[in-house]
């Protein structure tokens, strides 16, 4: 397993990663998630992405972009 992520403090986690973790977990406060779980999750994602072919990775990134792009859209009926 990759050990790219090894945060030892919540203050070390960049905002964009906090936002990603909170969105994936459904939690509101990053401190409600143990640092060990955050590190394990991020390293698992890194391993998963490293195992994908270039085409598969492109498809994953396109789907992620589409999700985040549409997430903040407001529909008025």
Is 3 among the domain residues? Answer: no
Query: Whole-structure pTM over 0.85, yes or no?
Result: no
Residue range of the domain that includes 60: 10-71
Instruction: Tell me the per-residue pLDDT of 17-51, one tens digit each, with 9 for 90 and over.
Output: 999 899 889 999 999 999 999 999 999 888 887 77
Other Cβ atoms less than 10 A from the Cβ of 52: the count is 13
Q: Please give the Cα distance from 35 to 6 (Å, whole number).
A: 8
Is 1 among the domain residues? Answer: no
Q: What are 4's two structure tokens?
A: 């790219």
Instruction: Tell me the per-residue pLDDT of 13-22, one tens digit each, with 9 for 90 and over.
Output: 999 999 989 9
Residue 71: band (very low, low, confident or very high) from pLDDT cuts 50, 70, 90: low
Residues 6+ apart with CB under 8 A from 50: 2
Contact 5, 39 (CB under 8 A): yes
Number of domains observed in the structure of the chain: 1
Closest CA to 25 of 43, 8, 42: 42
């Amino acid at each position: 397993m990759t050990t790219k992520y090894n945060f030892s403090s919540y203050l070390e986690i960049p905002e964009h990663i906090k936002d990603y973790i909170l969105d994936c977990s459904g939690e509101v406060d990053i401190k409600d998630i143990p640092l060990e779980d955050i590190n394990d999750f991020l390293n698992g994602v890194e391993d998963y992405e490293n195992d994908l072919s270039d085409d598969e990775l492109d498809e994953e990134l396109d789907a992620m972009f589409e999700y985040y792009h549409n997430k903040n859209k407001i529909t008025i009926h």
